A and B are shown apart, each in its own frame.
Chain A
Amino acid sequence: MRKVKFRFSRKAFAYPYMIFLLLFVVVPLVIVLINAFLGDDGKLTFDNFIEFFSDASGGLTVLGNSLIIGLVTTLICLVIGYPVAYFLAKYHASSKIFVLLFILPMWVNFLIRTLSTKAIFMALDIKLGMGTIMFGMVYNYLPYMILPLHTTLVSIDHSYIEAAEDLGADRFTVLWKTVLPLSLSGIVSGVTMTFIPAISTFAISEILSSSKIFLFGDSINMYFSKATNSLGVGSVMSFVMLIIVIIANVLMSLTEKKEEVKSAL
């Protein structure tokens, strides 16, 4: 009798937080969704959705551009970051400081990092535009890609690699056919951690292109900070971003499930 009572009270520790989550995470998102259906006059309407999906205010264009930039950034980060994580795991697995050096910039305020890169571009007379944005994005998000990749690569059981080498595989085949598949969950995790922020970034594009290049985050920012009347379209855009995030995460968890099934076999 006594034990049941205490288990009940331990569970209760979670209740305040559950209420907190409901109130400050779920309800706000619901309100955004509701706002998406409200017109300027406060009445329920599909106008906002129509305005966004018909590209009347450039919403789809901006989404497309952001997705492309996000994708390319993620790809470049993957291509640059994977070798970094791999080499670190292979040759410097014991030296945690070395790894730390790559992750450290992540902890410096991203505005400072971005403004520093802008200062350098200006000093070198490099024109601000798409090129500088891509550099800034990769520079900013590279540590986010390296971290999960490295964590996974370091935890790969060496016996797999040794077995592959014993079976006569040369180094490239080992990498290609053994290490890469085993690090897939790290790749997926790194991609998600980079892609999502990359498509919704706003300060980077504003700073590194002098507001010339207008991305999804910039657009949402404009709707919510300047045009105080038409929150509807901004809410639609936020909602669309939320859907994209959910889809990306569902895909990620699906691949993880596949991995679990594979390794179980």
Chain B
Amino acid sequence: MKKLFATFLCVLLLLSVVLAVSACDDKGVTTDELVVYNSADYIYDTELTDFKEYYRAVTGKNIKITYVTYDTNETMLTKIEKGDSVVDVVCPSEYAIQKLLEGGHLVKLNYFDEDLYTDGFNFAGYEHFSGQIDTNIIDMVEAAFGNLQIKDEQGNLTEDKITDYFVPYMYGTLGILYNKQEFKRLGIYDKDVINKANWGILFNDDGSGNILSEGLTGNILMKDSIRDSYAITLFYLKESGKLDGLTSPDGKTYTDMPVSELINVADSQVLDICREVLTEQKKQLFGYEVDFGKDDLLMGNAIVDLAWSGDAMYAVDESWDDYLCPKCVSQTGEKQGTDIICSECGAVCGDYELSYYVPHSAGNIWFDGWVIPDTYDPSHLTAIKLFINFLNNPEVAIQNILEIGYSAAVSPEAIRQVIEDDDELKGELSEAYLVNSDYWEKVDEDGKQIEKFKFNSWQEFEEFFFDYRNEMDNSNWRYPFLIDVNGNGVYDRALNTLGVMRDFGENNKAVVTMWNKARSTGVNALPLLGYTVLAVAVVVGIIVLCEYLKYLKKTVVKIPKSETDGSASPKD
């Protein structure tokens, strides 16, 4: 029996070895590989499958994609800098790209030079999409990072620009997500009030150092992120005049600095003021959040949140309320037949409860992009290049915009063009955004006819999607580069009210220290200790009192007791 069993095992072992070996030797269609490292939740769900098809169509080969995600740039930086695993292409934020570039970790991409880029492969079906990228973004990037000292492998300075090393992916702004209805209820939903308060909204400051509204106290959310919270604090400092008269170590006045320079200041005197302001702010805060700010606003737990544009757009979209009147900004809608009419002003109801506002005084615009780190596998180079190019196809870009919410670097004109030519896409968009257009069957999942639309026509939707103007300052928060420069009461966004944050570099430690101190102070447990000591003292006092009373009872009662009933007392 034992022998039979042993032989059986040997045969099994042999079989598995044979199978394993044969599996390795895939004599079928050759498979290329690609390792992609991206931020979590940052591509639309079927993108990888679509890319595989594209790759097959262009090269005729299969491709196996390993898709890894990171949650913070710091995690990503550690992994790339350590360099012990293969990462072919990665999508860091702008300051992380700067860090990697300065650390010599990036490989030249040359996406904007088609000849250089396609040098090395030649496919008939290949279409280079670098022309689709919004030139405004490229201008902005070059302006923000123009002075980077990029060294080559020998350590010599080169003439390279940052755009030689990366391709922009998504971009957005940092701003204030707020509840319109609550603002109206508190009496602060007014153009002048909000445009005067600017970033002060997050600090419950109306722009002149007074409280903006009592109702905001304890209802403001900040981000638990050093970079974002620090940047907007800097803006607030300038607005509120706390930087007046101060100069930087190299002699420049802070208040004269353009936004792009102010946003990157990290001098110790500024850090001190920031710390004080952040500590003061705590009294007004609901708390610090990493991700759930938009959910809290949707659920009505808070009124104001520091948010990124993509998150804000998602939240605004989710906050559609059929009974909200857009004119009265209150839930005064009543159902009359098939429509919902406002009981106060008679307008048709239906509006977003939340809104997004980027203060016009100064703002932050951020972006991220695809780079090739030095941990890439050279045999994957073609796949990498095709992948990056694939992402800039306007058809792919619009899928990303729809799914993720942020604005893609592909220009809105290119996207507009794609939608114009694609009826199927129009149908999808109509259904997703409830547009009353001819491009879709207007029935819901149960087959019922959909009657209530958010947009009454395709044109209305296009205006919303591409030309949306914020009601407070007429800026376009989906495409901040599309601005009305002329006109009354219209604020000029341009490239000089939005600054790009660079890496802190050697100031990093100072900023981190400031942030830690700001987070730690302002909360005092001493009152708690005080109350407890008091309570303990009271209890001890009561016990001592009881003991004393008992003692008195014993000494006082003893004497009459021994006289009256003659029973022996302990004292005797």
A-side residues, CB < 8 A to B, are 40, 51, 55-59, 61-62, 64-65, 68-69, 71-72, 75, 122, 127-128, 130, 134, 209-214, 218-219, 222-223, 226-230
Question: 28 A-B pairs, CB-CB below 8 angstroms?
Answer: A40-B509, A51-B513, A57-B520, A58-B517, A58-B519, A65-B520, A68-B526, A68-B529, A69-B528, A128-B286, A128-B287, A134-B528, A210-B221, A210-B285, A211-B287, A211-B288, A212-B282, A212-B286, A212-B288, A212-B523, A213-B523, A214-B519, A214-B523, A219-B520, A222-B519, A228-B74, A228-B78, A229-B509
**Chain B 219-231: CB-based contact to A (< 8 A → 1; otherwise 0):** 0010010100000
Quick check: is B562 within 8 A (CB to CB) of the other chain? no
Q: Looking across the interface, which residue of chain B has its beta carbon closest to that of A122? A: B301
Q: What CA separation (Å) do A23 and B529 show in the bound complex?
A: 41
- Of A56, A209, A212, chain B has the most CB atoms within 10 Å of the CB of A212
Interchain residue pairs A-B with the least CB separation, the first 4 = A210-B287, A58-B520, A211-B288, A57-B516
| A214 to chain B: closest residue by CB | B519
* Residue in A closest to B550 when the chains form the complex, CB atoms: A173
| Beta-carbon contact of A127 and B218 below 8 Å | yes
**A61-B301 in contact given A75-B532, A226-B72 (Cβ < 8 Å):** no
Task: Verify A61–B520 contact, CB threshold 8 A.
Answer: yes
Q: Within 8 Å of chain A (Cβ to Cβ): is B253? A: no
Smallest CB separation, A48 vs chain B (Å): 11
CB distance from B292 to the nearest CB of A (A): 9
Chain B contacts of A210 at CB under 8 A? 221, 285-289
- Is B508 part of the contact surface with A, judged by Cβ < 8 Å? yes
| Chain B positions within 8 Å of A213 at CB level | 523
Taking CB atoms, residues of chain B closer than 8 Å to A228 are 74, 77-78
Given contacts A211-B289, A219-B516, A222-B516, contact A65 B218 (CB under 8 A): no
Q: Interface size for chain B: under 10, 10 to 19, 20 to 34, or 35 or more residues?
A: 20 to 34
Known: A128-B287, A211-B287. A65 touches B525 (CB 8 A): yes
Residues of A within 8 A of B521 (CB): 58, 61
Contact residues, B523-541 vs A (CB, 8 A): 523-526, 528-529, 532, 536
Residues of A within 8 A of B74 (CB): 226-228
Q: Does B544 contact A (CB under 8 A)?
A: no
Residue B512 is within 8 A (CB to CB) of chain A in the complex: yes
Contacts of B529 in A (CB 8 A): 68, 71-72
Q: Which of B226, B285, B520, B523 lies at the interface centre, i.e. has the most chain A CB atoms within 10 A of its CB? A: B520
- CA A227 – CA B448 in complex, angstroms? 54
* CB proximity of B443 to chain A, nearest CB, Å: 37
Which residues of A sit under 8 angstroms from B285, Cβ to Cβ?
210, 212
Q: In the complex, what residues of A have CB within 8 A of residue B528's CB? A: 68-69, 72, 130, 134
The complex places the Cα of A38 from the Cα of B519 at a distance, in Å, of 24
Name the residue on B nearest A62 (C-beta). B520
Q: Which residues of A contact B72 (CB under 8 A)?
A: 226
Knowing that A55-B517, A211-B287, A219-B519 touch, tell me 18 more A-B residue pairs with CB under 8 angstroms: A40-B509, A51-B513, A57-B516, A58-B519, A58-B520, A64-B525, A68-B529, A75-B532, A75-B536, A127-B218, A209-B287, A210-B221, A210-B288, A214-B519, A219-B516, A227-B74, A228-B77, A229-B508
A128 neighbours in B (Cβ, 8 Å): 286-287
B517 touches A56 (CB 8 A): yes
Q: How far is the CB of B464 from chain A (nearest CB, A)?
A: 33
A57 to B72, CA, bound (A): 22
A141 to B508, CA, bound (A): 38
A219: B residues at CB distance < 8 A: 516, 519-520
Residue among A122, A226, A230 having the largest count of chain B Cβ atoms under 10 Å: A226
In the assembled complex, the Cα of A69 lies from the Cα of B526 at a distance in Å of: 9
Contacts of A51 in B (CB 8 A): 513
Smallest beta-carbon distance B274→chain A, Å: 14
- The residue in chain A whose Cβ has the minimal distance to the Cβ of B570 is A168
